[in-house]
Amino acid sequence: MRAIVIHAAKDLRVEAAAPTALLGPTDVEVRIETGGICGSDLHYYQHGGFGVVRIKEPMILGHEVAGRITRLGSAVAHLKVGARVAVSPSRPCRQCRYCQAGQQQHCRDMRFYGSAMRFPHVQGAFREILVTDAGQCHPVAPTLTAAEAAMAEPLAVCLHAGRQAGALLGRRVLVTGSGPIGVLCMLVARRAGAAEIVVTDVADAPLAIARRLGADRTINVATEPQALVPYAADKGHFDTLFEASGTGAALVAAFDVLRPGAVIVQVGLGGTVTLPINTIVAKEFELRGTFRFHEEYALAVDLMGRGLIDVKPLVTATLPMERAVEAFELAGDRSRAMKVHLTFE
């Protein structure tokens, strides 16, 4: 069994890993077909971690995966060998007060694939064979490819962000940041009935994809810095902001074009930012966070399976696992890549 292991920044290796031979009663063995490279995987690759989270031992990366079931634990009755499943990377403890309250994304003892937040690290899912919990396996519609199924995780993140935004029907929505998360937030807002969606970024290539997927307008704020100005008239135009760039500059610039009472959903992680508090007060903004997901994972699988959200155009390259280093370099180049997938067969 081979896996993609990060040892330190820029030290990514495809190497042999010990397979799990014994299946517990509620375990499921999955032959991984596809895995998507996420921003957090890239952080481990480029910088060896983010913030105080650092790689302290070799760790298998990856948490956006799909594959086919090869073996079932003795107590698993609702899944079938051979079925394609999207595998949720999150395994909440089910016992802490947040799990008990249905807020599993805030679990005190979360195990999330490919995360160095705890030590020993939680090993990730970029591997040929993964033994996981039956509760993390979501069978997908036969029409879905493994690549689409592997998009369930980032889509779930954005469905949760959409829930945090509240009503979107008839709303005018601004999305800052046109990476995979920004574009998926756009698709969620569209599906939820947004009347108008404008997407901004500082690069043309990702904006072109947002346009192709249905943005009403895209603006490159680096090359057209004045393009947002007309939206500031009459105290602002947009009802809802999905901030998906993780930059303070994008958030602060959006304050001018948000109308009083607007809802801001901060999706991107972005360190420490200085905010004009007077604007938040005077325009009565609601600033909301959004973190991971829980039941939205099943919703993502369902919406894709019924053809209601099409994520295929986001996948701009697919490389075999042997070319993992090349794939990670490509994923880090926004002029050439949106979502890069690895295949494991």
Count of residues that interact with Zn ion, criterion CB under 5 A: 8
Nearer to Zn ion, 88 or 218 (CB): 88
Q: Does 96 contact Zn ion by CB under 5 A?
A: yes
Q: Which class for 256: exposed (0-12), middle (13-18), buried (19 or more C-beta within 10 A)?
A: middle
Q: Among 38, 188, 299, 303, which residue sits at the site for Zn ion (rule: CB under 5 A)?
A: 38
Q: Does 93 contact Zn ion by CB under 5 A?
A: yes
Region near Zn ion per CB under 5 A, out of 79-87, 106-114, 207-215, 318-326: 106-114
- Distance separating alpha carbons of residues 199 and 186, to the nearest angstrom: 8
CA 153 to chain CA centroid, nearest Å: 6
In sequence order, what are the residues at sequence separation of 6 or more whose Cβ sits closer than 8 angstroms to the Cβ of residue 165? 189, 240, 242, 263, 265, 288
Nearer to Zn ion, 33 or 153 (CB): 153
Region near Zn ion per CB under 5 A, out of 86-94, 112-120, 231-239, 323-331: 86-94
Nearer to Zn ion, 38 or 146 (CB): 38
From the CB of 249, what's the least distance to Zn ion, in Å?
24
Q: Does 89 contact Zn ion by CB under 5 A?
A: no
Nearer to Zn ion, 29 or 64 (CB): 64
Q: Does 251 contact Zn ion by CB under 5 A?
A: no
Nearer to Zn ion, 64 or 201 (CB): 64
Query: Residue 298 corresponds to which tokens in the numbers above?
Result: 């099943």
Nearer to Zn ion, 64 or 148 (CB): 64
Distances (CA, A) of 122 to 33, 127, 302: 20, 14, 27
- Distance separating alpha carbons of residues 280 and 217, to the nearest angstrom: 26
Nearest one of 84, 45, 81, 79 to 61, comparing CA atoms: 45
Q: Exposure pattern of 92-124 as b/e (b: 16+ CB <10 Å)?
A: beeebebbeeeebbebeebbbbbbbeeeebbbb
Residues 119-178, interacting with Zn ion (CB under 5 A): 153
Q: Among 49, 62, 67, 92, which residue sits at the site for Zn ion (rule: CB under 5 A)?
A: 92
Whether 255 contacts 279, CB under 8 Å: yes
Region near Zn ion per CB under 5 A, out of 79-87, 93-101, 262-270, 313-321: 93-101
Q: Does 107 contact Zn ion by CB under 5 A?
A: yes
Nearer to Zn ion, 39 or 58 (CB): 39
Nearer to Zn ion, 89 or 236 (CB): 89
Nearer to Zn ion, 96 or 252 (CB): 96
Region near Zn ion per CB under 5 A, out of 58-66, 78-86, 249-257, 283-291: 58-66
From the CB of 311, what's the least distance to Zn ion, in Å?
13
From the CB of 162, what's the least distance to Zn ion, in Å?
16
In this structure, the strands spanning 217-220 and 196-201 are parallel
From the CB of 268, what's the least distance to Zn ion, in Å?
13
* Beta strand residue intervals within the chain, DSSP E: 2-8, 11-16, 27-36, 49-50, 53-54, 59-60, 64-72, 84-87, 90-91, 111-112, 129-133, 137-139, 172-176, 196-201, 217-220, 238-243, 258-266, 286-289, 315-320, 339-343
Cis peptide before 120 (omega within 30 of 0): yes
Interface residue list for Zn ion (CB under 5 A) = 38, 64, 92-93, 96, 99, 107, 153
